[in-house]
Structure 1
């Protein structure tokens, strides 16, 4: 299964904020949409990702200043990205290894979607279930039980 197969089943709207967005505004935005991270776009290009972890790490060192900051001050800018034609198994493996919960998907330099670890796990389970069904059908048809 390919990443584009996951993206085809998802809402194509990409929720994002600008680097100048205040941390408070970003928290309210993430709460409104019940999301754990938000893509940061600068002039339409991927600039970073702001996550709950980014907030927690900063707040644990400077809780007084956290709400005076912008998303650009706290966001992660060293991002691992994948492409629509990459295998879901590869994406899942990287996400688990790097402890990433949200993977930006780029087609060239254009952001085309986000795959969450939940999306990748669901796709993996669906693929495994389909393979199991096909194997059972094959076994039963070869053994004459059908």
Structure 2
């Protein structure tokens, strides 16, 4: 059984710059079959944008998805974990902050993302979340 975040994280993360349009970020998510992109500026972590962020913060508010930069939809003030952190620490961070994804940072560099689905696949492979997370997309 995996013990450290680096053993289950998704790497490398999909990254976009803060000036990437909402549409471009959404297309990247769709084409890569992922639910988030990491927003970086000059290699520095700015935030994370999820498919839900795009719907709730942009589409529902009538944002121009071609003219609005992803930097305006970003979830900032992120909790991060390190590759060598324990999986238990990642689980506790997700519980404490009520988040489903954590950027994995090595020093100043974002090296991956660990998701609730990654943790489910590792810790409870028979769970519904694990089965959904481990299957191919139905879209």
What TM-score does the superposition give when structure 2 sets the normalisation length?
0.77
Q: What is the SS of the residue equivalent to 1:96?
A: helix
Q: Does 1:115 align with 2:107?
A: no
Map of 2:4 onto structure 1: 2
Deviation at 1:60?
6.2
Q: Does 1:24 align with 2:23?
A: yes
Deviation at 1:17?
0.8
Q: Does 1:84 align with 2:74?
A: no
Question: Would the aligned equivalents of 1:36 and 1:51 in 2 still touch at CA under 8 Å?
Answer: yes
Deviation at 1:120?
1.4
* In 2: Cα distance, 1:96 partner to 1:53 partner: 19
Deviation at 1:108?
1.6
Q: What is the SS of the residue equivalent to 1:68?
A: coil
Distance 1:59 1:107, change over 3 A: closer
Map of 1:143 onto structure 2: none
Deviation at 1:67?
4.0
Matches within 5 A, 1:40-51: 40-51=39-50
- Which structure has the bigger radius of gyration? 1
* Gap regions ≥5 residues in structure 1: 127-146
Matches within 5 A, 1:61-100: 62-100=61-99
Instruction: Compare the two structures and name the one with the higher helix fraction.
Output: 1
* Gap regions ≥5 residues in structure 2: 126-139
Distance 1:25 1:124, change over 3 A: same
Deviation at 1:114?
0.9
What TM-score does the superposition give when structure 1 sets the normalisation length?
0.74
User: How many residue pairs are counted as aligned between the two chains?
Assistant: 123
Moved over 4 A (4+): none
